[in-house]
Amino acid sequence: MFLLKMPRPLKRTALFLLDLIIIPLAYLIALNVRVQDQTTYILHSDAVPQIVTVTLFGSIVVLVLGLPKIKLHAIESRAVARIGLAGMLMSVIAGLVGGMAAHADTAVISLLFGGVFFLIALGGRMFVLFSLLALRERELSRKPIAIYGAGSAGIRTASVLQTSFDFRPVMFVDDSPHIQGTIVSGIPVRAPAILKSMIERGRIRHVMIAIPSASVQRQEKVAAELKALGCMVNFAPSMEELVSNVVATPSAPVNPKDLIPRATINLDMPKVARAYADRVVMVTGAGGSIGSELCRQLLERGVRRIVMFELSEYALYTVDQEIRPLADEQGIEVAARLGSVTDPIRLRQVLLDEEVEIVLHAAAYKHVPLVEDNEVPAAKNNVLGTVIAAQEAAAAGVSRFILVSTDKAVKPSSVMGATKRLAELAVQDIQSRVTGTKYAMVRFGNVLGSSGSVLPLFMHQISQGGPVTITHPKMERYFMTIPEAARLVLLAGAFAEGDEIFVLDMGDPVKIVDIAKRLITLSGHRVKTDTNNGDIEIQFIGMRPGEKLVEELVTDKRNLIATQNDKIFLANEPRVKPRVVQAALRRLEMAITDADNAAIRGILSETIPDFTGKAPDNVVVFEAAQVAKR
Q: Is the dihedral of CA 135, 140, 141, 145 positive or negative?
A: negative
CB-based contact 362:294 (threshold 8 Å): yes
Between residues 93 and 595, the one the model is more confident about? 595
Using pLDDT thresholds of 50, 70 and 90, give the confidence band for residue 38. Answer: very low
User: How big is the chain by its Cα radius of gyration, in Å?
Assistant: 29
Pairing of strands 510-511, 476-477: antiparallel
For the cut 50, the answer to whether the pLDDT of residue 283 exceeds it is yes
Domain ranges of the chain: 8-137, 143-253, 270-448+479-506+554-598
User: Looking at residues 499-509, what average pLDDT do you find?
Assistant: 75
Average the pLDDT over 1-29 and give the result: 74
Residues facing residue 336 across a β-bridge: 308
pLDDT given for residue 135 in this prediction:
60
- Residue 395, judged by CB atoms within 10 A of its CB (0-12, 13-18, 19+), counts as middle
Backbone angles phi, psi at 334, to 5 degrees: -130, 135
Q: Report the SS3 class of residue 225.
A: helix
Mean pLDDT of the chain, nearest integer: 78
The residue-averaged pLDDT of 399-407 equals 89
Quick count: other Cβ atoms within 10 Å of Cβ 353?
12
Could you give the CA distance from residue 363 to residue 541 in angstroms, rounded to a whole number?
Answer: 30
Amino acid present at 627? V
What are the pLDDT digits (tens) for 114-159? 888 888 888 887 777 777 666 655 544 567 889 998 887 788 788 7
Is pLDDT above 90 for 384? yes
Name the architecture of domain 270-448+479-506+554-598: 3-Layer(aba) Sandwich (3.40)
Give the pLDDT of residue 612.
73
- At 244 the pLDDT is 41
Q: What per-residue confidence (pLDDT) applies to 455?
A: 64
Distance separating the N- and C-terminal Cα atoms of the chain: 57
Specify which of 175-184, 316-325, 471-480, 606-615 reaches the highest per-range mean pLDDT. 316-325
Average pLDDT over residues 378-390: 95
The two domains 143-253 and 270-448+479-506+554-598 share their CATH topology (first three levels equal): yes
DSSP 534: S
CA distance 597 to 592: 8
Please, what is the Cα angle at 569 between 566 and 574, to 5 degrees? 160
190 neighbors 116 (Cβ within 8 angstroms): no
Whether this model's pTM surpasses 0.75: no
Phi/psi region, residue 312 (left: phi>0; alpha: psi -120 to 50; beta: rest), is beta
Cis status, amide bond into 9, omega within 30 of 0:
no
Reported as type and span, the H/E element at residue 187 is: strand 187-190
Exposed, middle or buried by CB within 10 Å (0-12, 13-18, 19+), for 508?
Answer: exposed
Q: Average pLDDT for residues 292-314, to the nearest whole number?
A: 89
Fold of 143-253: Rossmann fold (3.40.50)
Question: Max Cα separation, the chain?
Answer: 102
CA–CA–CA angle 522, 173, 186 (5° rounding): 120
